[in-house]
Amino acid sequence: MHVVIPNECPDLRLELLIKYGNNQYVIPLSGSSEDVNIPDAIISSQVQVELLGNGSLLYSRIITINNSNPEELVINPHIVNFAPTDLLNNELPNAILNIGDLYYVGPGKYCVPINSSIGMVIYGNDIYVVNITSGNVNVRVWTLGALGIKSLLIIFGLLTLLLIIVLMIKGLSNGGSNDDDYIVIE
């Protein structure tokens, strides 16, 4: 059987799990196109083929063994395009997409386990829940790149405190003076 994976699954250790009868084989995959032999397979038997990425199930299909030429099995795991951005629409290279046991860092195209519908985007101490059923995961993180909202609030608070102090000093200097107005009559 010739196995073809047209879409890449970066950063994952891919394995093909083949189950039939009481037999189970794990075959490591090193590329996107490989020939796989199914030992002791009986013609017209049902074989379950699963693609695993770091142990997570990415694809599953049942095929029937026949005596014709080796069958080509095209494996298309669900892939999402992850695009985390800040409030100014800049990409965030340190944002993490977590789906089940898989963690992906930064924007990119990533393989998703089957039957997954939600994921989490983690940036700093903030966690956002996202829908991954479509092909795109666009999330706007409440930050301005390296300068986060919490930092901006602290800076705003310090500037407000500084303004209050300046106004108090100005008020004390105006109220404490004894400038008498003199009228000169000739």
For residues 48 and 8, state if they share a domain. Answer: yes
CATH of the domain at 101: 2.60.40
Q: Which two tokens stand for residue 45?
A: 């038997």
Is position 89 within any domain? yes
- Position 67 scores a pLDDT of 64
pLDDT digits (tens, 9 = 90+) for 75-86: 889 999 999 998
For residues 45 and 93, state if they share a domain. Answer: no
For residues 105 and 124, state if they share a domain. Answer: yes
For residues 50 and 109, state if they share a domain. Answer: no
Of the CA atoms within 13 Å of residue 174, those in its CB half-sphere come to 6
- Domain range enclosing 66: 2-74
For residues 59 and 113, state if they share a domain. Answer: no
pLDDT digits (tens, 9 = 90+) for 151-180: 677 788 999 999 999 988 887 777 555 556
For residues 55 and 70, state if they share a domain. Answer: yes
List, as own/partner pairs, every contact residues 12-17 make where C-beta atoms lie below 8 angstroms and the sequence separation is at least 24, other chains included: 12/53, 12/54, 12/58, 12/102, 12/111, 13/53, 13/54, 14/51, 14/52, 14/53, 15/51, 15/52, 16/49, 16/50, 16/51, 16/52, 17/49, 17/50, 17/51, 17/52
Q: Which of 74, 90, 124 is where one domain is finished?
A: 74
**DSSP structural state of residue 7:** S
How many structural domains does the chain have?
Answer: 2
Is position 34 within any domain? yes
- Position 147 scores a pLDDT of 60
pLDDT digits (tens, 9 = 90+) for 74-117: 888 999 999 999 887 889 999 999 998 999 999 999 999 998 99
For residues 90 and 32, state if they share a domain. Answer: no
Is position 154 within any domain? no
pLDDT digits (tens, 9 = 90+) for 39-66: 777 777 788 889 999 999 999 988 887 7
Most confident among 4-8, 13-17, 147-151 (mean pLDDT): 13-17
- Position 164 scores a pLDDT of 92
pTM: 0.70
* H or E element at residue 96: strand 96-99
For residues 68 and 83, state if they share a domain. Answer: no
Is position 155 within any domain? no
Among residues 51, 49, 131, 143, the alpha carbon closest in space to that of 89 is found at 143
CA angle centred on 60, ends 58 and 62, rounded to 5°: 170
Q: Which of 55, 74, 93 is where one domain is finished?
A: 74
Among residues 96, 90, 91, the alpha carbon closest in space to that of 123 is found at 96
Is position 11 within any domain? yes
